[in-house]
């Protein structure tokens, strides 16, 4: 009798392929149909780039261009700030010994992950309206910053935990001030964690629809809210083109973060 492999279970491989099929099929189909020459979205009329041309120069192009600029500007801004805040928080949690409110701080960092998105959206809207904060780009930015913090924090804190503090101790033993020890030793060693924290926060910001939809104010759109508004009137081929483009952006970013992660691992 052949030796049984303790890792093998009948059907698990088939299930995995099914899982991949389920995850990818809708995306791949939309990507394919975005190259459809036909105006009818379901009939295949040959390969064409016309919907991509439409996205960039069609009647809706200005709307989507403005939305894209808003989306990327907010994502870059929110992810950058969230990364800085999360790095400071990770130092506090991992390198600053005990202090009052440490546990509460950890809970607070994780709060955006625990509160359901719809609740955050409603609470933010109520808050901004109550204090008379005019909803617009700034409110979107602030709301994104808040929920980006825990996503940036997770990889950064994980990386910091894996960097032993002996390097900073050695630096301080060699006459580096605490700030120099952080800047010259800890920070360079943290680069992979910080980059993946930033990328994660960036994608999460780019991804958000629900909270943005509540706090965006009239007339201001991000890509997801613009797409949502458009889809409400039916799926049009130009939406599939935009979706495919955004899909491409996500894939590029994940690949980037994956490669960074691998490089970081190889260094160890």
Interface of this chain with another protein, residues 2 to 21, rule: CB under 8 A: 4, 6-9, 11-13, 15-16, 18-20
- Closer of 54 and 199 to another protein (Cβ): 199
**Where are the alpha helices (H) located in the chain, listed in sequence order?**
12-33, 50-57, 61-95, 102-114, 117-130, 137-162, 166-173, 178-180, 187-207, 210-215, 223-231, 237-267
Contact 231, 30 (CB under 8 A): no
Least gap, CB of 78 to another protein (angstroms): 10
Give the angle 179-81-69 at the CA atoms, nearest 5°. 145
Q: Which of 49, 53, 103, 254 binds another protein (CB under 8 A)?
A: 254
Compute the least distance from the CB of residue 230 to another protein, in Å. 10
Axis-axis angle for helices 237-267, 223-231 (nearest 10): 150
Of the candidate residues 60, 137, 167, 217, the single one contacting another protein (CB under 8 A): 167
Stretch that binds another protein, among 50-58, 61-69, 252-260 (CB under 8 A): 252-260
Residue among 65 and 161 whose Cβ is closer to another protein = 161
Which of the residues 215 through 234 are near another protein (CB under 8 A)? 224, 227-228, 231
Under rule CB under 8 A, which residues in 33-72 are in contact with another protein?
33, 41-42
Sites for another protein among residues 87-116 (CB under 8 A): 88-89, 91-92, 94-102, 105, 108-109, 111-112, 114-116
Closest CA to 249 of 76, 127, 94, 26: 76
Buried b (16+ CB within 10 A) or exposed e, 100-131: eeeeeeeeebeebeeeeeeebbeebbeebeee
Within 18-37, which residues bind another protein (CB under 8 A)? 18-20, 22-27, 29-30, 33
Using the minimum distance from each CB to another protein, give the nearer residue, 18 or 49. 18
228-231, long-range: CB < 8 A, 24+ apart: 230/60
- Positions in 170-209 near another protein (CB under 8 A): 170-178, 180-182, 184-185, 188-189, 203, 206-207, 209
Among 37, 66, 138, 142, binds another protein (CB under 8 A): 142
Q: Is 83 exposed, middle or buried (0-12, 13-18, 19+ CB in 10 A)?
A: buried
């Amino acid at each position: 009798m052949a030796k049984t492999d303790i890792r093998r279970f009948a059907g698990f491989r088939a299930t995995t392929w099914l899982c991949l099929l389920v995850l990818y099929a809708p995306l791949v189909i939309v990507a394919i149909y975005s190259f459809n020459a036909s105006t009818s979205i379901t009939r295949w009329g040959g390969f064409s780039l016309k919907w991509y041309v439409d996205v960039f120069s069609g009647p809706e192009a200005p709307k989507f261009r403005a939305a894209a600029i808003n989306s990327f500007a907010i994502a870059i801004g929110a992810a950058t700030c969230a990364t800085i805040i999360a790095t400071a928080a990770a130092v506090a949690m991992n390198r600053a010994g005990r202090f009052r409110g440490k546990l509460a701080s950890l809970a607070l960092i994780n709060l955006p992950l625990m509160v359901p998105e719809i609740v955050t959206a409603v609470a933010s809207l109520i808050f901004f309206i109550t204090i008379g904060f005019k909803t617009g780009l700034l409110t979107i930015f602030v709301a994104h910053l808040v929920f980006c913090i825990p996503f940036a924090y997770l990889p950064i804190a994980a990386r910091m935990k894996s960097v032993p503090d002996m390097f900073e101790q050695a630096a301080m033993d060699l006459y580096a001030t605490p700030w120099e020890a952080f800047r010259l030793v800890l920070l360079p060693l943290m680069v992979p964690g910080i980059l993946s924290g930033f990328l994660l926060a960036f994608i999460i910001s780019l991804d958000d629809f629900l909270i943005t939809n509540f706090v965006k104010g009239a007339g201001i759109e991000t890509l997801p809210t613009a797409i949502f508004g458009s889809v409400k009137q039916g799926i049009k081929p130009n939406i599939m083109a935009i979706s495919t483009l955004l899909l491409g952006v996500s894939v590029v970013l994940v690949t980037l973060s994956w490669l960074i992660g691998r490089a970081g691992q190889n260094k160890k």
